[in-house]
Amino acid sequence: MSRKNTQSPRKKTSKPSTNRRLSAGGRPVGPARGKSIPALASLIASLAPGVLRDVVEKDKRLETSLTAAHESMRGLPRADRRLIYRALSSLVRWWGWIEPLKLVHVEDQLLLAWLLDAPDVPAVCRFWANKSMRDPDRLFSSGDAPNWTARAQGLKRFMDGKTVTADPWMLFPAWLRDELPVPPGDEPAKSRRLAFLHSLQTRLPLWVGVRGKPEKPVWNELRDTGLKPWIHRRIETAAKLDRDTDVGSLEPVNQGFVVVEDLASQAVAKVCDPDPGERWWVACGGTGLHALDLGAEMANKGAVIATFDHDAARHAAALRLRKSPFRNVAAKVWDGKYAPGKSGTYDGVLLDAPCSGVGVWRRHPEVRWIVRKPQLALFVERQRQLLELAATAVRPGGVIVYTVATATLCETQGLVTKFLADHPEFQLDPFPNPLEEASTTGILQIWPQIHDCEARFIARLIRSRAK
């Protein structure tokens, strides 16, 4: 007969779990609440073929493809989701080198992509190595390689010295070679272009900006949480954080005083340089960040009208703007045919036009495989139409700031040159470079290999005053 326990009940203590999950950087962060490492690694391997088909063959965005796999992702903690996204982003980013190798096992593909992309070797990589009959203790990461030669060495090492082709241009669509201008610098033109390509193969840092409060107390508040914001020397309201920072847990972000926004995007409002009390139109409002930045530059005075081509985008931006301390910004749906309000009454128009998106390839590497060469002409035509509309909205003496997150010649210098030839009432308006101690002729191309941000083109055009 079993004997009842007559002792007073003790408080149970939980034993440390041996199953530890990883952060997006592959570091253990405590007892697992999501899947085990083998289950998570297997899930990523099961998702990878479908994601590749969606991106390369069906021109789907990575987020869209993963949304379709919501049943597999249901209930996963944020850290697991980030690890999945990071692994599949790496696979898409390096697919131009991986696909010709004809690797049989998807685990081999994922493993090589991660080793090329990241400086760490998390537990999921060891699992993939075991599945593909590789020694996990001999894994070598080249994710922090300083140049293409070192990247190629990492590829050759993975392939055990077999002959491989490590041409950097294989990682990008063929049309980029003809559309890419020569970046600035003292090195030979070929070296400067390769440096740009190399920057596109590195993960984008996390840039944030302070809005509606003095920046120094906010940076100190972030430091008190253990973060180390790297403050830009020219735009002191902008700072770079560790790319794996969980911004959703930061109080200044939840309060709306800190926004996640790339440095190049933050530079746009500095180029606009609006005065308090002016009236601005933000065409193609995007996420609402440009409108928010203008509202901050105008010290909550005047009016900023941001327009969106469908109500879902307007609603999402309106929620963001409502969270901010600025009440001089309005979000409206726009049919894209006529400028909102009375023609010729705006002090400025900020046009962030749809484009090929070369500048966002660091953050969204799948876009390179989605945009085809024939689409470039369609982008240029839409950009031209939007510039024509912006021209009707600006008063004499007003400005148009045209910007696109790309570096292609046809969407940047070529388009602006053609517009100025067709509109002699507009001229380039020189402005100080917001990121450097230099001035511009009215045109600025921001390069990721120089400023560690997205590639972005900005032109400031001024309309002649009426005689």
Provide the pLDDT confidence category of residue 335 given band limits of 50, 70 and 90: confident
Choice between 446 and 334, residue whose per-residue pLDDT is larger = 446
CA nearest neighbour of 169 among 410, 364, 356, 368: 368
Is residue 319 predicted with pLDDT exceeding 90? Answer: no
Give the number of other CB atoms < 10 A from CB of residue 180: 17
Residues of the chain above pLDDT 90, percent: 79
- Quote the CA–CA distance of 204 and 254 in Å, as a whole number: 22
Q: Return mean pLDDT, the chain.
A: 91
* For residue 18, pLDDT beyond 90: no
- pLDDT of 447 strictly over 60: yes
* pLDDT at position 33: 57
pLDDT at 15 over 50: no
- pLDDT digits over 110-153, tens only? 999 999 999 999 999 999 999 999 999 999 999 999 999 999 99
> What's the number of CA atoms in the CB half-sphere (13 Å) around residue 422?
11
Pair of tokens at residue 92: 């898409």
The pLDDT > 70 percentage for the chain reads 92
pLDDT tens digits for range 235-287: 999 999 998 899 989 999 999 899 999 999 999 999 999 999 999 999 998 88
- pLDDT score recorded for residue 467: 52
**Which is nearest to 206 in space by CA: 21, 317, 362?**
362
The backbone torsions φ and ψ at residue 359, rounded to the nearest 5 degrees and listed phi first, read -65, -25
Mean pLDDT of 205-224: 96
Q: Which residues pair with 445 in a beta bridge?
A: 457
- Tell me the mean pLDDT in the region 151-176: 94
Question: What per-residue confidence (pLDDT) applies to 6?
Answer: 36
CA–CA dist 1, 412 (Å, integer): 87
| Mean pLDDT of the 402-423 span | 98
